[in-house]
Amino acid sequence: MNDDTRGTPPAKGGSPNDPGAPAGEPTPADPFAGDSRRGDAASADAGGGASGVRPLRSWATALLSSLVSGAGQWAAGRRGRALSFFVPVASILAAGLLFALAQGRTELAVKSVQLPWLWTLFAVNMGLLAIRAYATIDAWRLGRTPASRTWIGPVGLAVALLITAFPHLWVASRNLTWIDTLQTVFNPPATTATTDPDVYAGPELSTTTVPAATTTTETLPIGVPTFTLPPTSLPDTEFLPLDGLTEGRYLSVLLAGGDAGPERGGLRTDTMIVATFDLESNRAYLFGLSRELVHIPLPAGFQKAFYDLEDTLWEIEFREWMWDQDKRCRKAGQWREDPPEFCPELPVQPEHCDCFPDRLNAIYTYTRNWTRTWPDVPDPGMEALRQTMQTLMGIPIDYYVLVDMAGFVALVDALGGVDIYVYESVHQGFSPAVEGGPIVRVDVDPGYQHLDGNQALAYVRSRDVVGDAGRVKRQRCMVRSVAAAADPVEIIWNFPTIAAAISENTTTNIPLEFVPELVRAAAALTLDDIVTVSLTGSGYTKDHDWRNIPKPDVADIRWRITSVLEGTSLGSSEGEDNECGDPDD
């Protein structure tokens, strides 16, 4: 038998295709080599070569590299090419992980509200996507053979690219959404009305500036037709750093919830809570005020602004009083002109109070169009409420945040609902938060309950059980419960919905450049020991107006706030009643 016709056998430990390759590891075809290599690949694909092992198909190599950059090249035997893709991607991811670990949670939260860092994250993410996508395409090309050039190859590549791109596009979408939310909420256009025109809005304002620039004449929507505001009443639009606010210790933010909705005739701030942060002790305080207060003291220069409103309210009440008394006198067979022993004397209109004569929650409604008085603020109505509240409470209020009903519902729903301890039964219905929505109804009994957005809204709006004091108490409880429901995983997963709820339904004067410092300060707070104070009830009112609506006892309110902040008076977290009524707290 002539062995020469059989050819020379391969070297020991080699393969039929590559004498120098280790045994059991055939050299795959290289589509970038010459025709002879392509022929070898084709024959290997057809019969598996002398070793009987088939090289991976193109869709398989692409899929491997879509999962781990360079894995497809490694499986195709191109080790150096595999490392050229794997090392850069792994290095970037490792550097990012080490950077995050070195920064810690607080600094990461601070950087998450800084636009330069957010744009850097976006650029790095897009760079990684480009590298990984190219690695996937390259692996697909390495795995192509003449026998595998069917429709399966392109479809497999498309699927692999989708797998590659999905995590990067998911991160990028949330990245861009967060950037847009920050720019929308914290850089809103000045003096733009935040709600549709309502029946209380006054006429368009006109202004005349004195050449000496010492005073400004304003025509206000309600009040004396024209009067002069002293320069001290005009707000300072510059924002101080944290250490310059309230002597460097306290930072206060007015949290207001608006009741704007279908057929409600405009927005009123039914929820008003002042959150004060002690930057030295890292403690938070929540001061709740009732909306059912009248004769609210006004900032300097605005005492006469509501004379016309006061006269109008008196005329309305006087007509109702006359109608009621007229019925009584007629029933007694007497007329208004009869002796006073049968019919009471006509009431005399009291002197102007130099205050806001209507309910506290109506200040926003009457001032939201005061764009001439406050031309450089996001919302004149909230600016008026902020200045009035700090006059009433006797403490500086640095910023405000206004959220309307629709935003509250969307936020709670995006968080997956809120768990709360209900200390009293509530069975009541309310108008919907959005146009065309169903009637909002809540039916809850005492005990632990899980509420969705609409139920939570109805719960905090109800005051049938214990009146407005109970309503304020439930509002402060809801603030705590929503904060507790803010699970990081839930926030990330539902972030687009949460961001939309915030950007579409929130107004604030907090500047974007100040948000990082605010986040850093908030991270240092002891949020599980929030002191809550309800400034409602007879203890904080002194008498009533002619409509029997309570007036605030300004001295007592200011004394209580000062005492709590100085530690000489207790809040609910230090021994008084828990506003949530939770027996476990």
270 touches 258 (CB < 8 A)? yes
Q: Which residue has the tokens 């006892």?
A: 553
Residues listed for the chain: 585
525 touches 284 (CB < 8 A)? yes
Predicted local confidence at residue 333, as pLDDT:
52
Predicted local confidence at residue 474, as pLDDT:
78
For the chain, 585 residues long, the average pLDDT of each consecutive 10-residue run is 47 46 45 40 39 62 93 92 95 95 88 93 96 94 72 86 96 92 79 42 32 32 32 34 55 85 67 88 86 87 86 78 63 50 61 87 89 85 92 91 84 84 78 67 83 83 65 75 70 77 84 86 74 79 80 90 80 51 57
- Alpha-carbon separation of residue 18 from 33, 47, 61, 250, 256 (angstroms): 15, 16, 21, 77, 77
Predicted local confidence at residue 424, as pLDDT:
77
Residue extents of the structural domains in the chain: 56-186, 207-236+245-304+352-574, 305-351
Predicted local confidence at residue 346, as pLDDT:
60
Contacts of 40 (CB under 8 A, 6+ apart): 17, 29
DSSP string, 332-382: TT--TTS-TTTSPPPP-PPPP-SEE-S-GGGHHHHHTT-TTTSTTSS-HHH
The Cα 283–Cα 334 span in angstroms is 65
Return the H-helix or E-strand segment holding 471: helix 467-484
The Cα 579–Cα 574 span in angstroms is 12
Report the CATH fold assignment for 207-236+245-304+352-574: Aminopeptidase (3.40.630)
Predicted local confidence at residue 584, as pLDDT:
59
Predicted local confidence at residue 161, as pLDDT:
95
CA angle, corner 277, sides to 271 and 278, nearest 5? 150
Identify the three-state secondary structure at position 159. Answer: helix
Predicted local confidence at residue 72, as pLDDT:
92
Predicted local confidence at residue 378, as pLDDT:
86
Predicted local confidence at residue 221, as pLDDT:
36
Q: How many CB atoms lie within 10 A of CB 336?
A: 13
Predicted local confidence at residue 25, as pLDDT:
44
Of 568, 572, 551, which is closest to residue 560 (Cα–Cα)?
Answer: 568
Per the structure block, which two tokens stand in for 10? 């391969």
How would you list the strands of the sheet with 227-229, edge to edge? 207-209, 216-218, 227-229
Query: Please, which residues bridge with residue 358 across strands?
Result: none
72 touches 59 (CB < 8 A)? no
Per the structure block, which two tokens stand in for 431? 């108008």
440 touches 458 (CB < 8 A)? yes
